[in-house]
Amino acid sequence: MQATLLPPKNSVFCAPVTANRELAECLIANVPMIDLLSAELTRAGLQLVENAEAGVRTLRIPIDTWIELGALLLLGRNEKSARLCDSDGVVLAWKGFEKPEDCEQELRTEAGCFPIVYPWDLLRMNEEVVALMDETSLAGEISPLATISGCVRISPTARILPGTVIEGPVVIGPGTQIGPNALIRGATSISANCYIGQGTEIKNSIIYPNTYVSRHCYVGDSIIGSHVTLGSGTRTENHRHDGRHHVSMIQGKLVDTGRFKFGTIIGDGVRTGVNTSIEAGVKIGVARTTKPGSYVDKDLL
C-alpha cells in the first residue's frame, strides 16, 4: 500500500510557531512533524511516494493531520475511491483522485483523528505522540538526587541536576540542562541545548532548541520557540476561573481552543523581563520583548 504526504492546507493560523519554519518542520516529541509522520507510516508497512507518483490506490495524507493508524488502514482497505473524515466531516485523507471532493464515498471515523489548524493543535498532537512512548531511556548526566518516574527519554549530554523531579511522559534533548529543583511533567518535550533554571516548572509544553527558561518560572500548556529567554519569574496563566474553554485571537476573531488548560504561544527570539505574567491564550510574536513586571493580556505580534 502506498501513501503520499501532501503540503498543509493552511498553516497561517499556526503563527507565530510557523513564522520562521514550515509547519512540516514544527517539532513533535523533538522530531520534525514530517519526519515523525514518515517514520510512522513506514513502520506501518506503507510505501511513501512523491505526490507526482501517486496512483488511484495511493493514500493522500495532508501533513497537517493526525490520523490513527486503524482509521487510515480502513481507508486503505476500501475498494472504491473514498475520503476519510472526522466526526465533524473534516477531510483527513483520501484516495482515488487528486481532490477529495471527487471521491465516490465518504468514510467517517470516531477515532482520535484531527486536523492541525491552530497552534494548540500542535500541543494536542504532542500529547498524543508522547503518550504512545513505552520505553524509558536515561542517558546524559543524571544526579542521583533527581527523581524520575513514568516514561522519560533523556538524550546523551543532557544534564539533570539535584532535586529535579521529572514525571513522564517527557522527552529531553541533547545538551539541555535542567535544575536544580525543577519540575518537569505531563507530555512535555524540551529540545536540544535548552536551559531550565532553578525552581522552574514546565508542564505539558513544547520547548524549541536553544531556549533559556530562567529560575522560578512557570510554563504550562504552552509552546515556546527557539532562542527565547524567559526572565526570572516569568509565568503563564493556563486555567480559567469560570471553567470554560480558553479562547485565542486569530486574525481578529476569538477562536474557541476547545481546551480547559491552555497557556501561551511564544515565537522565536522573544525575551521577557523578570516577573512577566502572560494571560492564557495570548501569543507573542517573533523577537518581541516585555519589560520587567509586565502583564501581557493581549497578543504581541
Note the pLDDT tens digit of each residue in 23-61. Answer: 999 999 999 999 999 999 998 899 999 988 999 999 999
Predicted confidence at residue 266, as pLDDT, reads 98
Residue 3: band (very low, low, confident or very high) from pLDDT cuts 50, 70, 90:
very high
163 vs 146: CA distance, rounded Å: 5
Predicted confidence at residue 119, as pLDDT, reads 96
Closest by CA to 271, choosing from 295, 293, 294, 287, is 287
- The residue type of 128 is E
Domain 2-117: homologous superfamily in CATH: Spore Coat Polysaccharide Biosynthesis Protein SpsA; Chain A (3.90.550.10)
**Using one digit for the tens of pLDDT, what is the confidence trace for 83-114?**
999 988 999 999 999 999 999 999 999 888 99
Predicted confidence at residue 81, as pLDDT, reads 94
Predicted confidence at residue 112, as pLDDT, reads 84
- The residue type of 100 is P
Residue 198: band (very low, low, confident or very high) from pLDDT cuts 50, 70, 90:
very high
240 vs 217: CA distance, rounded Å: 19
Predicted confidence at residue 116, as pLDDT, reads 94
Residue 162: asked if its preceding bond is cis (omega within 30°), the reply is no
259 vs 107: CA distance, rounded Å: 27
**Across 154-181, average pLDDT:** 98
Closest by CA to 118, choosing from 296, 268, 253, is 253
Residue 287: Cβ within 10 Å count: 16
Residue 12: band (very low, low, confident or very high) from pLDDT cuts 50, 70, 90:
confident
**Across 153-180, average pLDDT:** 98
CB of 201 within 8 A of CB of 263? Answer: no
Closest by CA to 200, choosing from 177, 219, 173, 174, is 219
141 vs 14: CA distance, rounded Å: 35
Predicted confidence at residue 148, as pLDDT, reads 98
Q: What are phi and psi of 229, to 5 degrees?
A: -120, 115
Q: Which residue has the cell 535542567?
A: 178
**Using one digit for the tens of pLDDT, what is the confidence trace for 208-246?**
999 999 999 999 999 999 999 999 999 999 988 888 999
Domain 137-296: homologous superfamily in CATH: Hexapeptide repeat proteins (2.160.10.10)
Q: What are phi and psi of 291, to 5 degrees?
A: -85, 160
Residue 20: band (very low, low, confident or very high) from pLDDT cuts 50, 70, 90:
very high
Residues 6+ apart with CB under 8 A from 241: none
User: How many percent of the chain have pLDDT more than 70?
Assistant: 100
Predicted confidence at residue 298, as pLDDT, reads 95
Predicted confidence at residue 1, as pLDDT, reads 85
Q: What is the pTM of this model?
A: 0.94
Predicted confidence at residue 243, as pLDDT, reads 85
Average per-residue pLDDT for the chain: 95
Residue 194: band (very low, low, confident or very high) from pLDDT cuts 50, 70, 90:
very high
pLDDT > 80? residue 10:
no
Residue spans of the domains in the chain: they are 2-117, 137-296
**Across 243-272, average pLDDT:** 95
77 vs 184: CA distance, rounded Å: 42
